[in-house]
């Protein structure tokens, strides 16, 4: 008898908890369904290849910022990191200069460094992440302009351009990067001690500290990972457009944060999943693709996107209060 | 004791369920004018649900509420307030940046010039009179944030009076104030009583109930158990009514023997917090720390555990001086700390019971940074069974547990890090009597295993019942180190108030 109730309690709890994530998944499937009914071009392999390739850059940034948001922080410098890392990589990627690994590693290193810089300032100064990364956003944009002397860096090697434009067995390389990054980030968040500590810090920083967690170390790690993922996005973007653009990535941070929030990550910290973020990023990609196919101008697309962000959070709030009642 | 024959509030057959679970089942209450009526019951007995219905925050499924003979129905919070029922919440609801007067008249501001211009002079005058009435000596123009918790509570009472409250509900009003302030509060309650105001008083503290209450109503598991006059109901019967079984001795018999010195605190100082604190804790021993609010008890514990710093002094562990800079260092050295602030420093609400309980010892269950779920679940299950934590499963979120079970989760987390010294700071605050008894038993089990314990508590019977030796603090200074034989409530109070 006792056991029966325990099991019953468990299963209803799990159902209630799962609804939040399923909610966004159901919305995603329904939007895909509607779009495929309206326009036959939507549900084709070639269209989906385009969607996922386009989504990959935003998704990489969104994975990074999901870690950050779960700890209760935020990173507004993502777009600038995309620009700086892209410029650093492209400056070293001219044909016959270095093997392709050099610009890639240099770009990644630049991102990791910028992320670690964010983390250091945030943990040492106690200034809120919003303000610190608002500062580094501007600093980063300036650095990108300084390094490139304000001009696009073009004439990149073929092997470098393969990263964003090539494919393996017909699968575009960015999609492969996306899948690998998704699996790694999910495992880190769900299965490693770092992931558990990330949730703990976002859930209650004081209690996490009192449990012996070195909170500052974890935050450093999180902002550094976020910088590394931004660098990956920066390299992919630069390679795809075959030019290092100092103005690249402007505003990307907002799309990434939107993907995480649509996917159920709470800005107050402590909750969120990589699967949710991936669906959030795909949802944004699918809607903008669908509106393109329907010849809706980009002006209207922005209005729709904003409404979806608010709608997703409102729905999530309803779900949560329903679970509590 | 005076019993007035006319009742002001009558409740019959009140029921409320949440998703199929009965929170209240056929509950009744008869409140007389000018009466202090204690509402008692363990956590989860339905007291809060009952009060939330009374003040219009929740709608009952069945039952009627008669206030001065009229039925209260479909009322929202504002209607109830206007009719004359006010509640002083346990967590005080104030706007810190506004003044005392502005807080008292929040939502009922006095205005002039087509009701668009605030008349602060008017509310300051009115507030002045109210504050005099309850004997609170602060200026109505003081910002609320500069007041002590007790003073804020007084302001809330002033607010209730200004609302012409005929019934005032007080939910654990003494949980965060000092003994002296409690005396002031009780004087105000007696004054209110004399003016014909009725008070519904919720508290876990028996001493208070017997000091202040005329009548006691007991709820258990959402059901009405009974109403008795406080004079006719002795403590033992009251506890039996609350827990549904008899608890003969609250403090279980100890069987541990004193071992080597494990922890020595030597001349510990921190400017403005505590001064020259020295004591030893032996293996298998409980050292109690007593003192009034603000005596520096928690501050010392936090300093030993590395949550705060101290300016001079030594912490010696088994003969070696140790340097603790963070809780991480403390845990590595075998020190465990259960904070008085369960919500703030204790558990992580969004995480499950399992994840909370293993949080401080998670590195024992990892391989290359990956959490080994099997071994984690195994130790969590073991600890949940050992401590008899009541949860629907180890994946239930800690927020949904009762206070006593939340406390056990925090204690379990500390124990899994295999400490040699455990500091418990107000381990039974806000938890019901059954869970209290289990925590006392647990303390004894731990000392039997040779763990050195430090117990900080505001409840003297608890300190006396559990400790082998007692450190008494007054305003940050150590005024006595008493043996079990020397210690009585009177001696402790004498040293706690010494200057």
**What's the confidence (pLDDT) of residue B270?**
92
Burial class (CB in 10 A: 0-12, 13-18, 19+), B199: buried
pLDDT computed for residue B5 by the predictor: 56
Q: Kindly state whether residues B110 and B148 are assigned to the same domain.
A: yes
Q: Is residue B248 part of a domain?
A: no
Contact A211 B360 (CB under 8 A): yes
Domains annotated on chain A, with CATH: 42-249 (1.10.3470.10)
Check CB contact of B360 with chain A, cutoff 8 Å: yes
Residues B223 and B362 in one domain: no
Give domain status of residue B252, yes or no. Answer: no
> CA of A48 to nearest chain B CA: how many angstroms apart?
34
Q: Which pLDDT value is given to residue B3? A: 43
ipTM for the whole complex? 0.82
Interchain proximity A204–B395, CB inside 8 Å: no
**B82 and B208, same domain (yes or no):** yes
In chain A, residues with a C-beta closer than 8 Å to the C-beta of B355 are 196, 199-200
Q: Which pLDDT score is estimated for B306?
A: 94
Other beta carbons within 10 Å of B15: 16
Strands (DSSP E) contained in chain A are 167-168, 171-172
Question: In B, which residues are within 8 Å of A221 by CB distance?
Answer: none
- A160 vs B157: CA distance, rounded Å: 73
Report which secondary-structure segment, H or E, holds B220. strand B215-220
Tell me if residue B372 falls in helix, strand or coil: coil
Domain edge (last residue) among B217, B243, B269: B243
Is A212 close to B346, i.e. CB distance below 8 A? no
DSSP assignment of A189-252, as one string? HHHBHHHHHHHHHHH-HHHHHHTT--HHHHHHHHHHHHHHHHHHHHHHHHHHTTSB-TTTTTTH
- Within a domain: residue B2? no
Are both B336 and B411 inside the same structural domain?
yes
- Residue identified by tokens 């450190």 is B471
**B254 inside domain:** no
Enumerate the residues of chain A whose CB falls inside 8 A of the CB of residue B305.
Answer: 210
- Contact: B344, A214; criterion CB under 8 Å: no
Kindly indicate the confidence band of residue A229, based on its pLDDT and cuts at 50, 70 and 90.
very high
Query: Would you call B371 and A14 a contact, using CB atoms and an 8 Å cutoff?
Result: no
Average pLDDT over residues A97-105: 94
Report strand pairing: B70-71 vs B36-40. Answer: unpaired
In a domain, B253, yes or no: no
Per-residue pLDDT, A304 = 87
In the structure encoding, which two tokens stand for residue B435, read together?
């869970």
Model pLDDT, residue B243: 74
Asked if the structure places residue B354 within a domain, the reply is yes
Chain A residue numbers with beta carbons less than 8 Å from the beta carbon of B375 are: none
Q: What angle do CA A262, A263, A268 make, to 5 degrees?
A: 80
The residue among A192, A210, A215, A269 with the most chain B CBs within 10 A of its CB, best to mutate, is A210
Q: Which of A297, A301, A268, A277 is nearest to A287 (CA)?
A: A301
> B52 and B107: one domain?
yes
Which of A192, A202, A270 faces B369 most closely, judged by CB atoms?
Answer: A192
Query: Does residue B178 sit in the same domain as residue B274?
Result: no
**Do B239 and B268 lie in a common domain?**
no
Distance CA A240, CA A156 (A): 11
User: Is residue A1's pLDDT more than 60?
Assistant: no
Verify whether the Cβ–Cβ distance B327 to A325 is below 8 Å.
Answer: no
Q: Residue A102's Cα: distance from chain center in Å?
A: 25
Same domain, B201 and B292: no
Q: Which residue of B has its CA nearest to A211?
A: B360
Of the three residues B243, B271, B293, the one that is the final residue of a domain is B243
Find the closest chain B residue to A3 by CA distance. Answer: B392
Any idea what the CATH number is for the domain that residue B211 is in? Answer: 3.40.50.300
| Nearest-5° Cα angle at A164, A162 to A168 | 60
Asked if B191 and B311 sit in the same domain, the reply is no
Instruction: At B322, give phi and psi (nearest 5°).
Output: -120, 155
Average pLDDT by stretches of 10, chain B with 499 residues: 67 84 87 93 80 89 90 82 87 84 84 74 89 86 87 87 90 80 88 92 86 93 90 86 67 76 93 92 94 86 94 92 93 94 90 95 92 94 91 87 88 95 90 82 92 90 90 91 88 81
Structural domain includes residue B444: yes
CA distances from B80 to B73, B109, B165 (A): 10, 19, 10
Point out the domain boundary residue: B184, B214, B243. B243
pTM confidence score: 0.78
Residues of chain A above pLDDT 70, percent: 91
Tell me the pLDDT tens digit for each residue of A143-185: 999 999 999 999 999 999 999 999 999 899 999 999 999 999 9
Q: How far is CA A284 from CA A29, A177, A306, B94, in A?
A: 13, 19, 10, 42
What does the pLDDT average to over A67-86?
A: 97
From first CA to last CA, the distance across chain A in angstroms is 26
Same-domain status, B69 and B129: yes
What's the number of CA atoms in the CB half-sphere (13 Å) around residue B89?
7
Among the partner residues A192, A199, A212, nearest to B351 by beta-carbon distance = A199
User: Do residue B237 and residue B265 come from a single domain?
Assistant: no
A291 burial class (0-12, 13-18, 19+ CB within 10 angstroms)? middle
- B58 contacts chain A (CB < 8 A): no
Number of domains in chain B: 2
Residue B36 lies in a domain: yes
Per the structure, the complete domain to which residue B33 belongs is given by: 7-243
Instruction: Specify whether B216 is located in the same domain as B154.
Output: yes
H/E stretch holding B217: strand B215-220
Reduced 3-state DSSP string for B434-450: HHHHHHHHHHHHHHHCC
């Amino acid at each position: 008898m006792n056991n029966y109730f325990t099991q019953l309690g468990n299963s209803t709890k799990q159902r209630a908890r799962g609804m939040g994530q399923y909610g966004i998944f159901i919305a995603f499937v329904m939007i895909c369904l509607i779009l495929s009914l309206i326009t036959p071009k939507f549900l084709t392999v070639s269209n989906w290849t385009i969607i996922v390739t386009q989504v990959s850059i935003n998704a990489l940034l969104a994975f990074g910022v999901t870690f950050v948001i779960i700890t209760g922080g935020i990173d507004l410098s993502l777009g600038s990191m995309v620009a700086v890392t892209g410029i650093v990589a492209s400056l070293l990627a001219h044909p016959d200069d270095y093997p392709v690994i050099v610009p890639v590693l240099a770009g990644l290193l630049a991102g990791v460094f910028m992320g670690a810089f964010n983390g250091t300032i945030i943990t040492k100064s106690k200034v809120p992440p919003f303000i610190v990364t608002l500062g580094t956003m501007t600093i980063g944009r300036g650095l990108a302009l300084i390094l490139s002397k304000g001009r696009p860096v073009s004439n990149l090697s073929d092997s470098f351009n393969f990263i964003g434009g090539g494919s393996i067995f017909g699968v575009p390389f960015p999609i492969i990067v996306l899948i690998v990054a998704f699996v790694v980030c999910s495992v880190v968040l769900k299965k490693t001690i770092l992931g558990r500590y990330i949730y703990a810090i976002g859930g209650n920083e004081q209690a996490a500290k009192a449990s012996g967690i070195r909170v500052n170390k974890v935050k450093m790690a999180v902002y550094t990972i976020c910088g590394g993922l931004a660098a990956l996005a920066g390299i992919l973007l630069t390679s795809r457009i075959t030019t290092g653009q100092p103005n690249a990535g402007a505003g990307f941070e907002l799309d990434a944060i939107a993907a995480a929030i649509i996917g159920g990550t709470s800005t107050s910290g402590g909750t969120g999943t990589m699967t949710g973020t991936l669906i959030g990023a795909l949802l944004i990609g699918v809607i903008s693709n669908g509106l393109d196919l329907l010849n809706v101008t980009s002006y209207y697309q922005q209005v729709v996107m904003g409404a979806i962000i608010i709608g997703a959070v409102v729905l999530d709030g309803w779900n949560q209060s329903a679970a509590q009642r | 004791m005076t019993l007035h024959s006319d009742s002001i509030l009558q409740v019959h057959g009140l029921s409320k369920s949440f998703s199929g679970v009965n929170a209240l089942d056929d509950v009744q209450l008869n409140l007389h004018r000018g009466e202090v009526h204690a509402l008692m019951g363990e956590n989860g007995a339905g007291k809060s649900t009952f009060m939330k219905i009374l003040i219009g925050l929740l709608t009952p499924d069945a039952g009627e509420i008669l206030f001065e003979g009229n039925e209260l129905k479909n009322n929202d919070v504002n209607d109830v307030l206007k009719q004359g029922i006010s509640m002083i919440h346990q967590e005080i609801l104030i706007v810190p940046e506004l003044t005392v007067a502005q807080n008292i008249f929040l939502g009922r501001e006095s205005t002039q010039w087509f009701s668009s211009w605030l008349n602060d002079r008017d509310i300051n005058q009115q507030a002045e009179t109210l504050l005099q009435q309850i004997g609170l000596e602060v200026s109505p123009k003081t910002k609320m944030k500069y007041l002590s918790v007790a003073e804020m509570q007084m302001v809330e009472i002033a607010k209730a009076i200004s609302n012409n409250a005929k019934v005032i509900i007080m939910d654990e009003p003494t949980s965060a104030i000092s003994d002296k302030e409690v005396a002031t509060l009780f004087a105000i309650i007696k004054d209110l009583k004399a003016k014909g105001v009725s008070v519904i008083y919720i508290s876990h503290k028996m001493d208070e109930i017997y000091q202040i209450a005329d009548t006691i109503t007991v709820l258990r598991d959402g059901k009405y158990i009974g109403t008795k006059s406080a004079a006719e109901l002795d403590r033992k019967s009251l506890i039996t009514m609350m827990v549904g079984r008899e608890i003969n001795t609250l403090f279980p018999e100890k069987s541990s023997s004193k071992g080597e010195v494990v922890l020595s605190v030597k001349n510990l100082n921190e400017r403005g917090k505590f001064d020259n604190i020295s004591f030893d804790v032996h293996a298998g021993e409980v050292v109690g720390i007593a003192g009034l609010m603000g005596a520096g008890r928690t501050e010392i514990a936090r300093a030993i555990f590395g949550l705060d710093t101290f300016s001079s002094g030594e912490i010696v562990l088994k003969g070696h001086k140790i340097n603790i800079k963070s809780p991480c260092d403390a845990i590595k050295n075998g020190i465990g700390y259960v904070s008085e602030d369960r919500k703030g420093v204790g558990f992580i609400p969004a995480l499950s019971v399992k994840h909370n309980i293993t949080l401080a010892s998670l590195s024992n269950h990892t391989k290359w940074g990956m959490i080994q779920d099997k071994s984690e679940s195994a130790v969590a299950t073991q600890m949940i069974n050992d401590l008899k934590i009541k949860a629907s499963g180890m994946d239930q979120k800690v927020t949904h547990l009762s206070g006593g079970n939340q406390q056990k989760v925090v204690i379990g987390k500390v124990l899994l890090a295999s400490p040699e010294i455990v500091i418990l700071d107000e381990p039974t605050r806000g938890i019901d009597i059954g869970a209290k008894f289990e925590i006392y038993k647990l303390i004894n089990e731990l000392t039997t295993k040779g763990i050195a314990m430090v117990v900080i508590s505001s409840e003297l019977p608890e300190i006396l019942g559990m400790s082998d030796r007692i450190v008494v603090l007054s305003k940050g200074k150590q005024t006595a180190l008493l043996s079990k034989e020397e210690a009585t409530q009177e001696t402790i109070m004498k040293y706690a108030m010494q200057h």
